[in-house]
Structure formats: C-alpha cells, structure tokens
Structure 1
Amino acid sequence: MESPEKISGNQLCLLVFSFIAPTVILVVPSFMEEISKQDSWITIFPAVLIGALNVWIMIVLSNRYPGQTIIQYSSQILGKWPGKFLGFYFLYFWINFDFIILDQHIQFINTVFLISTPSIVVSLTLALLCGIAVYMGIESIARCNEYLSLLIIASLIPLLLLMLAESDPERLRPVMSKGIVPVLQASIFPVAYLGQFIILGWLLPYLNQPKKAAKFSFISLFITSGLVFITVLPLIMVFGPLTRKLAFPVLSVIQYIGIKGSFERLEAFAVAIWVMGYFVKVSLTFFIICLSIAHLFDIKSYRNFVVPITILSVIGSVSVFVNSTDLSSYLRETYPSLAFSTHFILPLLLLMIDTIKRHWKKSVP
C-alpha cells in the first residue's frame, strides 16, 4: 500500500488560491468587461455566492464519505457503473482542461516573453517540472506552494498600489446603467473559475484536519474573490472600455504603469506571477488526472501514470487549438457553461441524490 500523504489546512487554502487566482486576474477581466462594461467589478458578488455554495457542497460530500475522492464516492451514490461513467467524464474533463491550460501558458509566454520559442519547448519545460512535482507527491506540491503563493501575493501588492495611482474613478460610472441583467450574464466568467473549488473533491481526503476543511476552504474562497475584486476594480478605472480589447488586461496595465511611472519592465512581475501560479495549477491537474485513473481502475499508486500523462499533456497542448483566437473563443463561449455544469451542477446532483437515498433508507422500516 502507498503511504498516506497529508496536507495541512493552510496548505489546502494556499493550493486552491494558487490554482485559481493567477488565471482569473490575468485573463478573465476582459471577458467580464465585454458584457457588463464598467460594472464588471459587481460581477464578483454573485460569483462569490455560487462559489460558497460550491464549497459547501464539496464539504458536505466529503464529510459523508471521509477519506474518499469524488471519483470513489460517486460509485457509492449512483451505483457502480453510473458512478464509473461519471468518473470517466471527470477524467475526460480534466484531461481536456489540462490541454487548455498548457496551451494558455504557451500563448502567454509566446506573447510576452519568448516570442520565437517553439510551442512544444514552452509546454515541455513546464510539464516536466510539474510531472516531477506530482511524482514527489501532493505533500511536495503543497510545501512548494507555501513559498510560491507568498511570492505571488508579494508581487501583486506593489503592482496593485501602482495601478491605483493611475486610476480614474469616473470610469466606473454610470453604475448599473443597463440594470442587473448584464452583471448576472457576465458573472458566468468568475463563476466558472471560482467553481474550480471542485478540486476539493480530490484534495480533502489528504487534509490532516478534516474537521477544519470548511474553515480553510471558505478562507481560500474569500481571499481569492477579494484579490479578483481589488484587481478588476482599478483595472476598469485605468483602461475603461479598452479592457475588453486586451488579451491580458492586467499585463497591459502593468506595462502601462512601467511606461508612465518611474519603473520599467514591470511585466516581469506578471510573468513571474503567471509561471508560479501555472506551475501549481498544472501540477494539481496532473495529480487529479493520475489519481482519477488510479481510482477508476483500482490501482494502488497514482504515480504509475505520471510519465504518460506528462507526455500526453505536451502533445495535447500543442494540438488542441490552431491559434490564440480559437483558444480565446473557447474560453469566452464554451468553457463557462461547461465549467458551470461540471463544477457545480454535477456535484449538486450527487448531493441531492445522496440526500434522497439517505432519507429513503431512514423512512423504510
């Protein structure tokens, strides 16, 4: 048997933060502004409500099936074969997600930093490091992230302060001039990313203090949501309507600060935030994929799949989309609804079915 690995509550909190935050703050604001315009900052509030409900669902399921991942207790809730079918769907979703985030990493690095570097080199260098981290185990990823997440936060604070210096609050007006509907429509984008708290379904079995799972999960939610809020707000106040036309709006505002202010080449901070966050994100995705395969086929060690998944990820990342336009269209038009149904609707259905079954058993004499 493989020795059980454990992570602390603080490590869980920081893992989820690093998994979600860098992507949201660097990519999503342009999608939000395209629909809700200057009211983009308001979309965070309905997203937080859905995110909190998502966290609660994952915590309740974990408490009912302690020590098991969502792949394992799905079969207990739905039955063996329906549960296996749902498990295979989750596996497909995470593999597809893996291809997309690695391709996103390629597009970012090729746009900002290494313009002429072949895509496969950019993907391979990150995938190899992530594969090594996953082979070392979830404890190693969590310990590494303790330092990386602090570096991410330390890099963001001065950038946010410089953004505020260039902000114009008048760009936030008029507030909700077209009503609440555009705000609710645009909230699907932060909801799609805050819904990534579904990873708790794979991480909570490794928590060394299960009774504190809710505490640390909700702390992570509010830290991540707060960071998104204090990033989007000054971003709109700096660029206004121009935000929707930028592929990486936070990167653009950092470059703008570097030109207008006393500092230069501040985009290096954005690159550092992205690479550190994506190292954790891809590592956790690899871990979830390998763990899902192991549980679907009742194999003791998930480490047996690290090498093939790393190779598959590199190949998939360079072939999943033809160019950045296709990637952007997918993230704007397809991913939000797919993520909402996978991250939120499916766990909710699992909880509802499990609750009905438990009440049914109690009512039967």
Structure 2
Amino acid sequence: MKVQPREQITATQLGFLLITFVISTIILTVPGIMVMFGKQNSWISFFPASLTGLLSIWVMITLGKRYPGLTITQYSSRIVGKWLGALLGINYIYYWFISITTITMQHVGFVSTLLLPQSPHIVGSLTFLVLCAIAVLTGIEVIARCNELISIIILVSLLPLLILTAGIGDFNQLRPVLGDGVVPVLQGAVSPAGGFMNQLFILGWLYPYLNQPHKARKVSLIALTSIFVIIVAIVLLTITVLGPLTGKLTYSFLSVIQYIGITGSFERLEAVAVSIWVMGCFVKVAICLFILCLCVCHLFGIRNYREIVLPVTMMSLVGSVWIFKNGSELLNYLAFTFPLLAFFNQSFLPLLLLTIDSIKRRGRQSLL
C-alpha cells in the first residue's frame, strides 16, 4: 500500500478547489458557447450535462478507494500493465500541457482585451505562469489554503452581480421552452458535459492528498451541486439580458456586467469580473501545473515534483504563445475540439480503467 503523501488537504478545501477549478474559466465564456447550440433553452442543457460530473465523481472515488495513496497515473499501471500505463501517463502529460497552455492563452487574451491591449502576450503569459509556478513550489496544501479565501471572494462577488442581473433581465427571452425540440438542448450540453462538468476528475490526483477520504464523495457532490446552481443561474440570467446576442459574444456575461454598470447606479463593475477571472485562473492553472508535474514524476520515477516545476513552466510558456495563432482558433478549439478531447480523457479513460479493474477483480474472485 502506498504511504499517504505528507501534504494533506481537508474535505472543505477539496470542495472549494473543485468549485474554483470548474467555474473559474467558464463563468464569462460558457454562456456564449452554449447559446450557439441551445439558444434560449441552453440553460436546460446543464441538467443532462451534470450527469458527466456525477460519473466522474463515482469513477474517481471508487478507483481511489481501491488504490489508496495512489493517483490515476500510478494505479493505471497496476490495472492495464506497465507499458499501457506508461502510454496513459504520456497521454495525460499531453492533456494537462494543452490545458495549461489553453487556459493561459485565454487568461492573457482576456486581460489584454480589457486592460493591457499594448502589452505583448508573452509578457502576460510569463508573469502569470511564474506566479502559478511559485504556488506549485509551495505545495498543494498551500494552494488549497489560499483557494479557501479566493473561493469565498469569488462567491461573494458573484452574488450581487446575479441579483442586479435578475433585476434588469427580461424572462420572456427564455421562451419558447423547447420550441425547437430536445436536440438543440442536447447539442448545447456537449460543451459543458465534455469540457467542464466532468473536470471533477481531478479527484484522480487530489484524492490521495485528502486527510479524510471517507468525506470525498459527500464534499464532491456538494461541489457539483454548487457548480450546477451557479452556472445555470449565470447562463439563464445572461440570456434574459442579451437574448440571441449571447451566442455571438465571446465574453457574454462580462457584457451583462458592463450593461448593469451603464443602466444602474454602479459603475465599472467589469473590474469585479476581471478580479474573479484572474483569481480563478490563477488557482486553476496552479492545480493543472501541479498535476502535470505529478504525471511527469510518476512516468519517469522522479521522487520530488518540485524539481521539475520550473522546466515544466517554461515549456508551458512556449506552448501558450505557440499553440494557437489567434483568438478565433482558440474559440473554435474550445467550442468543437476540446469537449471531445476532454470527454475522452476525463470520462472515457477513467471509466475504462474502472471496468477493466472490476473485471480483473471478479476474475480473481471466481478463481478462488
């Protein structure tokens, strides 16, 4: 049995990490992507999409209980063998590298558009990734403690924005309900289901660091419920304000916040949105970078992940300025490619590992 890692996080910290990780980059971008497909009924799409979140929680916690103290890249070798396990490890290294570079480019593009239009992207990427690398060097326990405060700030900042939006929204924009049938709703569910709701599969790397593993299921379900409520509210209220225009805007919820500042007695409310985005992206990339370093260490047998944080960060910096030529390519990737890639890595592969492991266990029991 693998010895429990020295760094440990509490169940509450795990719940906050899951919430921040999922909602940090989608509160401003996901309404536009979903309305492209689901139109005025896109908020309904989160009901089927949330099923992938439930699947991720069940699969990762079940595997975590069977292999205590091990991450998914470690116990995969015990399930499918050394070589296939190594291939799976390489696949996840690639996946997390792409995730870091994509989120970093999203972050820099967002900040450049609103605040620093003349600043070179590489400068923004470098400063952002260096801060994330420093956080990873301090360890997942410090990241989790820091995120407790950040999560509370994000949630407290979101609440008044949602209340103000509800006051100016036109709920007739949500009609007709299912006017085009169920198909557009299911199409709108692909993006959050494939790319966002099942991001709870980070439990595959965080579960071994939980000091009370028996609370993982409960806190994960609470986190999923919170994520569901927040995102449904954001998408629903964005549609009531912008209507069909939602699907044509990259940062549609940001446009709603700016509209509140124009029509109401509050000004420059987009500063709140920028703060939420920056804090959330910081935590998300720090977690991704931590997981990427773990994957590399497990593949090559490196004991201390801190030894490779800086080189991995520099590689991510190169990727963030090289992988996409412009914002249009990034948006197409997020809308069409990423959901499929994410579904394959976050849902299909873990479920396949669980299936193979269950078959092998039943086979051994039948032999006995």
Normalising by structure 2, we get a TM-score of 0.97
CA contact (8 A) 1:103 1:320 kept: no
Amino acid at match of 2:117: I
CA contact (8 A) 1:290 1:302 kept: yes
Residue segments in structure 1 that go unaligned for 5+ positions in a row: none
Higher deviation after alignment, 113-122 or 203-212: 113-122
**1:47 equivalent among 49, 72, 77:** 49
Q: Name the residue aligned to 2:145.
A: 143
Q: Name the residue aligned to 1:347.
A: 350
**2:60 equivalent among 58, 61, 71:** 58
Structure 1 residue 168: Cα displacement: 0.5
Amino acid at match of 2:189: S
Q: Name the residue aligned to 1:134.
A: 136
Residue 318 in structure 1 maps to residue 317 in structure 2: no
Structure 2 SS opposite 1:26? coil
Residue 282 in structure 1 maps to residue 291 in structure 2: no
> For residues 309-344 of structure 1, what are the alpha-carbon distances to aligned partners after superposition, in whole Å with 9 as ceiling and x for unaligned?
111111110111111011001111111111111110
- Partners of 1:75 and 1:3 lie apart in 2 by 19
Structure 1 residue 284: Cα displacement: 0.2
Structure 1 residue 3: Cα displacement: 6.6
What is the alpha-carbon root mean square deviation over aligned residues?
1.2
- Partners of 1:209 and 1:241 lie apart in 2 by 46
> For residues 196-252 of structure 1, what are the alpha-carbon distances to aligned partners after superposition, in whole Å with 9 as ceiling and x for unaligned?
111110000000001111011111111111110111111111001000010101111
- Partners of 1:333 and 1:3 lie apart in 2 by 38
Q: Name the residue aligned to 2:123.
A: 121
Q: Name the residue aligned to 1:235.
A: 238
Structure 1 residue 103: Cα displacement: 0.6
Aligned residues, how many? 365
CA contact (8 A) 1:87 1:296 kept: yes
Residue 195 in structure 1 maps to residue 198 in structure 2: yes
Amino acid at match of 2:310: V
CA contact (8 A) 1:2 1:300 kept: no
Amino acid at match of 2:133: G
- Partners of 1:355 and 1:46 lie apart in 2 by 26
Matches within 5 A, 1:207-356: 207-356=210-359
- Partners of 1:337 and 1:295 lie apart in 2 by 26
- Partners of 1:17 and 1:39 lie apart in 2 by 24
Structure 2 SS opposite 1:106? helix
Q: Name the residue aligned to 1:17.
A: 19
Residue 358 in structure 1 maps to residue 361 in structure 2: yes
Structure 2 SS opposite 1:150? helix
Structure 1 residue 2: Cα displacement: 11
Structure 1 residue 111: Cα displacement: 1.1
Higher deviation after alignment, 309-318 or 58-67: 309-318
> For residues 241-279 of structure 1, what are the alpha-carbon distances to aligned partners after superposition, in whole Å with 9 as ceiling and x for unaligned?
000010101111001111111111110001000000000
**2:87 equivalent among 82, 85, 92:** 85
CA contact (8 A) 1:123 1:314 kept: yes
Structure 1 SS opposite 2:177? coil
Structure 1 residue 22: Cα displacement: 2.0
CA contact (8 A) 1:74 1:350 kept: yes
Over the matched positions of the two proteins, sequence identity in percent amounts to 51
Deviation beyond 2 Å, 4+ runs, structure 1: none
CA contact (8 A) 2:9 2:210 kept: yes
- Partners of 1:33 and 1:209 lie apart in 2 by 40
